[in-house]
Amino acid sequence: MTDNSPANQPVHSTRPGGPTQATLVQKARAKLAFKPAHTSPTYRQRKYSIRLWAVKHSRFFEWFYKKFANAFLVLHPFWNWVGYNRAEAPVTAVERCVKGLLFDCRMCGQCVLSSTGMSCPMNCPKQLRNGPCGGVRENGNCEVEPNMPCVWVQAWKGSRHMVGGDAILNVQKPVDQSLRETSSWLRVTAQSAVEREQKEAAQ
Ligand code: SF4
């Protein structure tokens, strides 16, 4: 008896003389490939280059961020005087511009750049915060966005330049969506100030 189920149909061609199945699949793949909205390929390519540059200089950014965080902490009395809530909007705007330019920051509000080799994990189309998926391409690019270097491959490379690079091995908590579009600079400062006060009180 002949089995005419779809699984047993020939896969090399759809009709005599027509395109092969492989050609059709290839065409469909090109059509279905993820294309980020509202941005031209040239713009994206430029952004990828800046991201790669930041990863390459991750050691410098690690050093700079420590100095910067300390400076913010020294300013704690000022933030207190202004009010952390009132400072939120202007500081968030500056943070968005600076980190958007350098790291393609998506303002998740809970920055992990210093644990991810200065490669922002929120640029992963699957938004993975703890390492790559199983689909990284042979050339180290993303499965979903073929022209984009996988953020986790870059994170590993960046972490190898950093003094505290082994922080990449720490398990990150899931993203708290309620913190989106808030300033992680201010949050870290406020938390450090509280920790410092608790330490002083305990002595
Ligand atoms: S981890 Fe979050 S805050 Fe840090 S750069 Fe990425 S989106 Fe921005």
**Ligand 1 pocket residue status of 99, Cβ below 6 Å:** yes
For position 1, what pLDDT does the model report?
A: 42
Q: How far apart are CA 182 and CA 37, in angstroms?
A: 23
pTM for this predicted structure: 0.79
User: What's the pLDDT score for residue 43?
Assistant: 78
Length of the chain: 203
Model pLDDT, residue 84: 95
CA distances, 159 to each of 70, 114, 130, 175 (Å): 21, 8, 14, 21
Contact 151 CB / ligand 1 (< 6 Å): no
**Residue 34 pLDDT:** 56
- Residue 42's pLDDT is 78
pLDDT of 49 reads 93
Task: Output the CA–CA distances (angstroms, integers) from residue 181 to 82, 102, 108, 159, 185, in the order listed.
Answer: 20, 17, 6, 26, 12
Find the 148 Cα to ligand 1 centroid distance in Å.
Answer: 17
In three-state secondary structure terms, 157 is helix
Ligand 1 atom 5 nearest Cα: 105
CA nearest 47: which of 112, 113, 120?
A: 120
Q: Atom 8, ligand 1: which residue's CA is nearest?
A: 105
User: pLDDT for 153-168, tens place per residue?
Assistant: 999 999 999 999 999 9
Cα–Cα distance, 105 to 51 (Å, whole number): 10
Going by CA atoms, what residue is nearest to atom 3 of ligand 1? Answer: 111
Which residue CA neighbors atom 4 of ligand 1 most closely?
111
Residue 105 Cβ < 6 Å to ligand 1: yes
Atom of ligand 1 nearest to the CA of 99: 5
Q: Which residues of the chain have a pLDDT value below 50? A: 1-13
